[in-house]
Chains A and B, each alone.
Chain A
Amino acid sequence: DTAVSQTPKYLVTQMGNDKSIKCEQNLGHDTMYWYKQDSKKFLKIMFSYNNKELIINETVPNRFSPKSPDKAHLNLHINSLELGDSAVYFCASSQEVGSGGFSYEQYFGPGTRLTVT
């Protein structure tokens, strides 16, 4: 079974459209993330959710809205897509270990390659 899954794997769409990417993890982790990897391969955190609560929201345009219906899911909705949104989007999850400590091993999904034309 895939630990962290994302759908779709490829997404090609036109500027101005609205699209969603779904992420699910079956590891029982309490924290989920969205990262963006641009054409220069630079991987950058966008959002982080812990137990369905938003804890990190980096300087991401408000066209991007994460939604966490439960601990196992973190979806990403993007409004009014722009050319610069073309990138690979990775979902990841991790589990807190101990009291206040973190297991930093983040498990990544296979990525969603978004192309905006």
Chain B
Amino acid sequence: RKEVEQDPGPFNVPEGATVAFNCTYSNSASQSFFWYRQDCRKEPKLLMSVYSSGNEDGRFTAQLNRASQYISLLIRDSKLSDSATYLCVKDTGRRALTFGSGTRLQVQP
């Protein structure tokens, strides 16, 4: 089983829609989780960290459920510019990150 598993998508949604991605992970010892965003043929960039209490950054909300070992990302009022691949990430505890294979989002006009 992969350490971080994501639905590859693509998720095709209209502008203004709300879309949610889930990600499951193994190795419950991981302490830190993140969502990164990767545009086509570009480098990954940190979108937001994920906390058990949940955290919100504008239209983006991230949630961590340690009991069920899953992480979620909710995007409200989708914009065309949100089209990208969203990478679910956890720390390895050794100053390195383990990336999921990503969920592709395509927002359509």
* Chain B residues near A33 (CB-CB < 8 A): 96
A12 lies within 8 A of chain B by Cβ: no
- How many Cβ-Cβ contacts under 8 Å join chain A to chain B? 48
| A6 and chain B: residue at smallest CB distance | B43
Q: CB distance B98 to A104 under 8 Å?
A: no
Q: CB distance B43 to A111 under 8 Å?
A: yes
Q: How large is the interface on B (under 10, 10 to 19, 20 to 34, 35 or more residues)?
A: 20 to 34
CA A48 to CA B97, docked complex, whole Å: 10
Q: CB distance A106 to B94 under 8 Å?
A: no
* Chain A residues near B32 (CB-CB < 8 A): 104
Q: CB distance A106 to B46 under 8 Å?
A: yes
B1 lies within 8 A of chain A by Cβ: no
Distance of B8 from chain A, by nearest CB (Å): 8
Q: CB distance B95 to A108 under 8 Å?
A: no
Q: CB distance B95 to A56 under 8 Å?
A: yes
* Chain B residues near A90 (CB-CB < 8 A): 43-44
Distance of B60 from chain A, by nearest CB (Å): 16
